Structure 1
Amino acid sequence: MSLVNATRSELTKQFSTAMWWILGIVLVAYVGSTAAGLAATFGAVATGAIGGDSAGAPPLPEEILPPVIYSLATAVGYVFPLLIGVIVVTGEFRHQTLTPTFLATPRRGVALGGKLVAGTVLGLLYAALAIVVTVGPGAGLLAAFGVDTKLDDSDIWAMIGRMVIAFVLWMLIGIGVGTLVRNQVAAVVGVIAFTQFLEPILRTVGGFVDGVTDVVRWLPGAASDALVGASIYTSFMGAQADDQIAWWAGGLVLLGYAVVLLVAGYLFSWRRDVS
């Protein structure tokens, strides 16, 4: 079977299940509500509608708010393409559908290639959903408080383009993890534990300890933020923007994680018997 046919088969397989749209709905609800809530809060604080001098806190600089709000699509939403990438592969091991897949596509490299192309399509779809529900409500609420949305700024649109790239790379990383770790529960729990607990803790510590900073800047979440070029984490949560690597280096680091995981998964797991 050719790569085109393998990709068509994978797309049919993925879009015939409910998981992709269930995670899509959760993505829209979670990222959209976060962007709307923070845009309203930060917009109100920056313009003095709430808080003010009596709050004792320094005013928020309005110029940083649009990129921070828009980048929430990746800063908090990257876990969704990562998870669906894991599930795309581990679901086949769990439900033992990989055997007919390999019978239809004996060349396992082609079968994996079909998953990568199908995963790229899903990554683009998830990126579109995340960007729409962050930029739309975020810009509307910022404008309502009189904050410049900067949607006429080419740098903002370049950042949005890099967000799309980040989503696709996270999807490929998820496929790599799923290829390497066959057990779906172990893979999903491991991904959630690392992305939602371990790395945030390390990055928080890195914001205060110089020796740790040199290490955490190369972690996948930090690389993703560097690629995008903006993040609520680097702006408000202790990490410093100056500690980030260049955006292109962040993209290469994230791509490197995907390549290493995919190659390791192919060599040590994908070629093994599945029964």
Structure 2
Amino acid sequence: MGSAIKSEFRKFFTTRLWWGMAIGIFVAGAVFAGFFGWALTSENGNTGGGPQLEGTATQVVNSVYTAGLGVGYLLLLTVGIMQIGSEYRHKTITATLLSTPKRVQAMLAKIIALLGIGGVYGLISLLGSVSVGAIVLTLRDIDPFPSTEVLRTLALSLLALGLWALIGLGVGILIPNQVAAILVGVGVAWIIEPLLSFGLAFVEWAAKIVPYFPSNATNSMVSGVTAQGQDVDFLPWWGGALVLGAYAVALSVFGTWRTSRQDIS
């Protein structure tokens, strides 16, 4: 099992993909944190000598540090898809399953590796967002760590990215064609789901399911998002974590089951 896990890490970190993704997720975290840090603390007629915050200091700091997470989880979704999709595309899945004949163990190795990869990228994302965000907040005379809740949000951000990588793994198994899986996965998470959430939020009975969409669960998990002008009750942070975890577990279990039963040529 240990050798299978090492093999999965080696497959990923010996390609140029990993550092390209690392640069992207670092820049996304830094740029969005800088922009939101400046925008959310802009002066709105406040004469007290400091910026007027839109919300409590903790809410603002959480929003700043997680501003680039939307791009981050799309990248981790892509990584999860490619971790299995590239095996099918380059016909290496046969060698993988021959080296680890017990298919359940092979899939568990991928799952553990993806959680580790998600953690690595999460640290890179937070390095960019916290370093730039803290500088902007300090320049605006705001404590960059006003409460321990901020540390909880940062830890949940790491978990969220790892879970999105597992969701990508499930999508990659559900749609064996790597290109199609990436287009469908990113398209649903980035375009279709937000539009569907917006539309359903105005329908009384349908608004109850909106908080359970993966992206909304992620937002609730890391920043305690609230609805504005819509009759939607979003989940608490722990509810969002449970829902996102349920998606990841369900897709991982499905992927393990399907891989253990399908014919590989």
Name the TM-score, length of structure 1 as normaliser: 0.86
Distance in 1, matches of 2:70 and 2:249, equals: 22
Distance 1:130 1:264, change over 3 A: same
Q: 139, 147, 151: which one pairs with 2:134?
A: 139
Q: 176, 186, 200: which one pairs with 1:182?
A: 176
Distance 1:84 1:128, change over 3 A: same
Distance 1:125 1:200, change over 3 A: same
Distance in 2, matches of 1:21 and 1:40, equals: 28
Q: CA deviation at 1:47?
A: 7.2
Q: CA deviation at 1:44?
A: 2.5
Corresponding residue number in structure 1 for 2:236:
246
Distance 1:268 1:114, change over 3 A: closer
Secondary structure of the residue aligned to 1:83 is: helix
Which structure 2 residues correspond to residues 88-107 of structure 1 after superposition, within 5 A? 88-107=83-102
**How many corresponding residue pairs?**
260
Q: CA deviation at 1:43?
A: 2.2
Secondary structure of the residue aligned to 1:148 is: coil
Q: 255, 258, 261: which one pairs with 1:265?
A: 255
Contact 2:63 2:223 (C-alpha < 8 Å) held by counterparts: no
Contact 2:224 2:237 (C-alpha < 8 Å) held by counterparts: no
Amino acid of the structure 1 residue aligned with 2:181:
A
Amino acid of the structure 2 residue aligned with 1:82:
L
Contact 2:33 2:66 (C-alpha < 8 Å) held by counterparts: no
Corresponding residue number in structure 2 for 1:32:
30
Q: 212, 216, 221: which one pairs with 1:218?
A: 212
Secondary structure of the residue aligned to 1:72 is: coil
Corresponding residue number in structure 2 for 1:42:
40
Q: CA deviation at 1:255?
A: 1.6
Distance 1:194 1:239, change over 3 A: farther
Q: CA deviation at 1:165?
A: 1.3
Contact 1:178 1:184 (C-alpha < 8 Å) held by counterparts: yes
Secondary structure of the residue aligned to 1:164 is: helix
Amino acid of the structure 2 residue aligned with 1:165:
L
Corresponding residue number in structure 2 for 1:52:
none
Q: 105, 108, 133: which one pairs with 2:103?
A: 108
Contact 2:81 2:181 (C-alpha < 8 Å) held by counterparts: yes
Q: Does 2:65 match 1:67?
A: no
Corresponding residue number in structure 1 for 2:246:
256
Q: CA deviation at 1:128?
A: 0.3
Which structure 2 residues correspond to residues 4-23 of structure 1 after superposition, within 5 A? 4-23=2-21
Amino acid of the structure 2 residue aligned with 1:33:
V
Corresponding residue number in structure 2 for 1:156:
150
Encode CA deviations 1:194-216: one digit per residue, 9 max, x unaligned: 11101111222344443332111
Contact 1:93 1:274 (C-alpha < 8 Å) held by counterparts: no
Distance in 2, matches of 1:181 and 1:249, equals: 29
Secondary structure of the residue aligned to 1:243 is: coil
Corresponding residue number in structure 2 for 1:228:
222
Unaligned 5+ segments in structure 1 are 50-57
Distance 1:270 1:19, change over 3 A: farther
Q: CA deviation at 1:238?
A: 5.7
Amino acid of the structure 2 residue aligned with 1:254:
L
Q: CA deviation at 1:48?
A: 5.7
Contact 1:205 1:212 (C-alpha < 8 Å) held by counterparts: no
Q: 119, 124, 136: which one pairs with 1:124?
A: 119
Distance in 2, matches of 1:85 and 1:259, equals: 14
Encode CA deviations 1:11-70: one digit per residue, 9 max, x unaligned: 111111111221121111223212212212222245769xxxxxxxx9734623211111
Distance in 2, matches of 1:46 and 1:75, equals: 27
Contact 2:166 2:251 (C-alpha < 8 Å) held by counterparts: no
Q: Does 2:80 match 1:85?
A: yes
